[in-house]
Amino acid sequence: IPDLERTDVQGLLNHLQDANAVKFQWMKRRIVQMWPKWQAAISSLKNKKDLTKTVQKKVLIHIGLLANENKLHFAEEAGKGGPLGELVQWSDVITSLYILGHDITVTADLAAIQKALGNVVAKKLCPQKLPNDIDLVYVDYIGLRELNSKIGTLLPQFLCKLRVVDSFGTEAQFNFNLYKEKIDGGSMGAYGRYNLNLRQYQTMFPHSPDNTFLGFVVNVKPLENTDKKMRRKAKALVYGKHYSMWKDLPNKTFLEVVNRYLEVHATVGGGSASEVSSHLPSFVINHGVVTPMEVQKLLNESMVFVGLGFPYEGPAPLEAIANGCFFINPKFNPPRSRLNTPFFKNKPTLRLFTSQHPYCEEFIGKPHVYTIDVKNVSEVERVMKEIMLKEVDPYLPFEFTHEGMLERVNALVQHQDFCYQNHWPPLKALITEKGGAGKSCKDVCLAKGMVCEPEFFNSINSRTSLIEHGFPCNTSRLEEVPSLIAPGFRPEPAACIVQTQALMFSCTGTSPSTMRLCPCRKYKKGQVALCVDC
Ligand code: UDP
């Protein structure tokens, strides 16, 4: 039975202990600051859903990126312009699991996780002695690699319990260790090839339906009437908290255009004041890296949040939109990916980034988001003119609220099971769709207002299913192969393709000549990870 009466934040903070106090400092602050909102969210969720019937899980959480603090300096850089998205997500995942009443252990140190897993792991995970009272292990790629290399090959009985927190997503060809074909771009195996169920990779945004959308929570300062007026103070806040994000700006003149309409502010760090300012245009008013609360305040006073093209897919633009800003989202043409961009070179996905923030581009759009070519000065000019005449209401998709996150994490923890039979979402949610040649199932489902649901691939993977949905498979040759585009139909030479390797099922796989049969499902409005009745 989960403990659903956890009202004291200290109980959670006690779980975040490390000899190096700096490691958890930024996360603890976020947790304390958001605590009242978490409390309100769990009360509201309890009113809608009977959580007393849920099962308490024993959950181990290992934050690998903090376990290597001496090398990576994640915690140390948190206040100096270093990446914060991961710390945002870890804080929110930990808090969700705790508030939902689970029995959690949090580690950020190799020796600590070894201890938490029990001696058996040190003895190379002897299967008879697996710590089988542990139900779930949340870890990141860094932590997983370290566990694997320092502790020994991880056994299937343990691997199936993993949930790998993975911002950008992992595709089938990077996960399946026997994938033979050449993959373009950087190296293939930098991220492991652990043969996990792809849904064990849990992402920051709902961009890769093969994986699970885990998400995070967006900070909002409720708008008061006075704040609305202050926004008319006409500030622009630039998205870029480390001077390196400003160094190689393709074209700084677009900021000059913005500055003709609005005062340009920024929160940039990463070095001494003079070092930082040497990389910024002189008209930029720099506040240095500030606390998340101060970011909220600046966003409240700003009319527009301006992207520089980096960092990719962070939390900040959602905060800006939730605080009533327009977001100028730099468009990438050609799209960026591991084929042409060093940042993505070794990432285990071929996903194409058509802008700095694809979620804002695809899921939010106008009136909040302007995805434009910032090198095109006249386009920037046009957008600024338009913005100056407009008002926009704050907007926050439900899935990024505290309650949305609790609802989602609860469903995932209760229903996803990759050790035994996973039957979630239930098959009744399956809607099968035929795709056009060259289309991925991700796109086929999206075009119909649905998402690709990999759980259902197995149910439509047969000659019978292909025939039922109109492919001429009673007269065509049957190809039973491991394939990223199965099940599907290729007209020339006519062949029906059926999957023989479950690890190769892929929502994103395409081939110019093949039409795919796709497992789609509808989703709850504002909560894409969940289907309507499940
Ligand atoms: N942030 C902050 N201080 C600043 C600038 C940003 O605390 O001066 C916060 C911001 O509010 C957000 C988090 O940093 O919650 C992560 O922001 P970003 O989108 O930049 O993602 P990252 O690239 O760090 O993953």
- Residue 124: predicted pLDDT: 54
pLDDT at residue number 491: 94
Query: How far, in Å, CA of 39 to CA of 7, rounded?
Result: 7
Residues 502 and 458: beta-carbon distance below 8 Å = yes
| Banded pLDDT at 436 (limits 50, 70, 90) | very high
* 15-29, 122-136, 306-320, 495-509, range with the lowest pLDDT: 122-136
Mutation probe of ligand 1 site: the residue of 30, 33, 84, 88 with most atoms within 8 A of C-beta: 84
**241: Cβ below 6 Å to ligand 1?**
yes
- C-alpha dist (Å) from residue 392 to 33, 144, 297, 303, 509: 27, 43, 17, 9, 38
Assessment of whether the complete model's pTM goes beyond 0.80:
yes
Q: Which atom of ligand 1 is nearest to the CA of 312?
A: 23
Q: Which amino acid is at 289?
A: V
- pLDDT tens, residue by residue, 239-272: 999 999 998 776 678 999 999 999 999 999 999 9
Give the other-Cβ count within 10 Å of 308's Cβ.
Answer: 21
268 CB near ligand 1 (under 6 Å): no
The response to whether residue 88 sits with its C-beta less than 6 Å from ligand 1 reads: yes
124 three-state secondary structure: coil
Q: For atom 12 of ligand 1, which residue has the closest CA?
A: 316
The conformational region for residue 422 under phi > 0 = left, psi -120 to 50 = alpha, else beta, is beta
Greater model confidence, 114 or 476: 476
Nearest to 209 by CA among 506, 515, 516: 506
DSSP reduced 3-state for 113: helix
Residues facing 499 on adjacent strands: 481
Q: Is 298 in the pocket of ligand 1 (CB under 6 A)?
A: no
Strands, sheet with 162-165, edge to edge from the N-terminal-most edge strand: 103-107, 58-62, 136-140, 162-165, 201-203, 212-213
For residue range 320-357, list pLDDT tens digits in order.
999 999 999 999 999 999 999 999 999 999 999 999 99
- Model confidence at 118, pLDDT cuts 50, 70, 90, reads confident
Tell whether ipTM is more than 0.90: yes
Report which ligand 1 atom has the smallest distance to the Cα of 84.
24
Cβ of 396 closer than 6 Å to ligand 1, yes or no, is: no
